[in-house]
Structure 1
């Protein structure tokens, strides 16, 4: 079977390998769609934490089951997977926080992932399609990242939620903040992305900190109170550090974006707000279920996200295109059907 291997930053190679052998507790999948995400782009550029080469990328997947020993699945079932493979015994797993397992192995990051024709995965990772299309199934994982961040923040109706970063993860976060009933503020330095937020996602407010004073605009929007929830979806150090100043008193700051360096904050300013800082890593099965329910109900439209498609055999030559801002990529899907 054919796989696409990232040998080193900036270098892909197609390789022919043996089909994986079946094992107890594992299921063999025929991959149908692969979403290209920020993790894949960063890995290709050489700036992804927790990463080593060579690596087969890809963890936003839809597939058909080829073989399985899971009693709830059968060959031919359409599925997605929860790609955060966990140990099941550490303190996080025992508390049902398998998304931050101490021995986490994320498909396509710590271990080889889905840019391949067939993939062997732990059977516990399977999620039934429940009528969703292959395209929709490939969107579930990235949308679940945002849904998990909103759940971490415990967003309630009518509060102001500022999402910093209008990339695919940030856009999904905005969607689930809206679904939770929040008044959403999108912040980004890309006017095209902000226009997308207004016109396609119908975000309540947008703000470009390069063109406007963010503190003044946030005070205006919130009647001087500032957002009660701030969520970073950029992973940019300057953006993360600036986000502390946008918090309301008693507010919650959630870091979905990941960055290699140390973050800094004014302790007195943070302390006087009695603010809460938390990270949001990956997602849980509950988040996947919530996302899939919202997709089935039409609360989230896949057409809003899928802007580019590429055949699996063309990925090596086309991958650079997805890094170019002028191409206005929201989500590119790799097609193996």
Structure 2
């Protein structure tokens, strides 16, 4: 586990006060609560307000959940990724307002046009990629909040003058807490989140060994693969 060893054990003793009621959600839905809570926590860290332009960099599972909860918070969401299939998913399934391919030469111009030249007031990185983090500095409005959900495994280096002149706020967002879990569960119960959007593959436990490597190929379109145990 994150804070306590033994997360892969069959049984683990924890205080009852740390448990949340599943609210009659299915096993598949409950399995999505934790990854979605990570994005929900990042949105809460950013204190996203209704009507704000929120740019989410990275359309992996964590980034998608971040977009979902930014939308629920009332933001105008912009998705940035290099995978056109994922961007189409953002638009069609998650109802993201705007999508941009990060490989385009005019990303800043597109952001300026979308935001009426104001640029996003919240930028959330869900990649942990050093180049993406550096580029994000140029995408922010004056006084923007920049939240790092993705983890850069090394020194964090960026252009100080570009960051400084915007009077930006830099925040990290690590995991989630009980409030985020509760928010995700309530959002599912209220129909604000459609868990089936994320579940792209279903396999039996005994099939995992044969299927796992194929999940690493982006062409297979895996977002979340559910493993069933009889």
Give the structure-2-normalised TM-score.
0.95
| Aligned-partner Cα distance in 2 for 1:237–1:119 | 38
Larger helix proportion of the pair? 2
Residue 178 of structure 1 is matched in structure 2 by 71
Residue 234 of structure 1 is matched in structure 2 by 127
| Aligned-partner Cα distance in 2 for 1:189–1:112 | 37
Q: Is the aligned partner of 1:271 residue 2:171?
A: no
Residue 99 of structure 2 is matched in structure 1 by 206
- Aligned counterparts, 1:1-337, within 5 A: 84=2, 104-105=3-4, 111-114=5-8, 118-124=10-16, 125-337=18-230
Which structure has more relative contact order (CA 8 Å, sep 6+)? It is 2
Tell me how many residue pairs correspond in the alignment: 229
Q: What whole-Å deviation, never above 9, does each CA across 1:87-134 have from its counterpart, x for those lacking one?
A: xxxxxxxxxxxxxxxxx34xxxxx4434x6x23242344222121111
Higher alpha-carbon deviation: 236-245 or 149-158? 236-245
Q: What whole-Å deviation, never above 9, does each CA across 1:73-96 have from its counterpart, x for those lacking one?
A: xxxxxxxxxx54xxxxxxxxxxxx
Deviation at 1:212, TM superposition (A): 4.2
Residue 13 of structure 1 is matched in structure 2 by none
| Aligned-partner Cα distance in 2 for 1:259–1:274 | 22
Give the structure-1-normalised TM-score.
0.66
Q: Is the 8 A contact 1:215 1:246 kept in 2?
A: yes
Equivalent position SS for 1:178: helix
Residue 20 of structure 1 is matched in structure 2 by none
| Aligned-partner Cα distance in 1 for 2:201–2:179 | 29
| Aligned-partner Cα distance in 1 for 2:31–2:60 | 17
CA RMSD of aligned residues (A): 1.4
Q: What whole-Å deviation, never above 9, does each CA across 1:296-335 have from its counterpart, x for those lacking one?
A: 0000001100000111112122111110111000111111
Equivalent position SS for 1:127: coil
| Aligned-partner Cα distance in 2 for 1:192–1:178 | 20
Higher alpha-carbon deviation: 266-275 or 130-139? 266-275
Q: What whole-Å deviation, never above 9, does each CA across 1:20-67 have from its counterpart, x for those lacking one?
A: xxxxxxxxxxxxxxxxxxxxxxxxxxxxxxxxxxxxxxxxxxxxxxxx
**Distance of aligned partners of 1:262 and 1:183 in 2 relative to their CA distance in 1, 3 Å threshold:** same
Equivalent position SS for 1:119: coil
Q: Is the 8 A contact 1:227 1:246 kept in 2?
A: yes
Q: Is the 8 A contact 1:253 1:275 kept in 2?
A: yes
The gaps in structure 1 that reach 5 residues or longer are 1-82, 85-103, 106-110
Q: Is the 8 A contact 2:6 2:12 kept in 1?
A: no
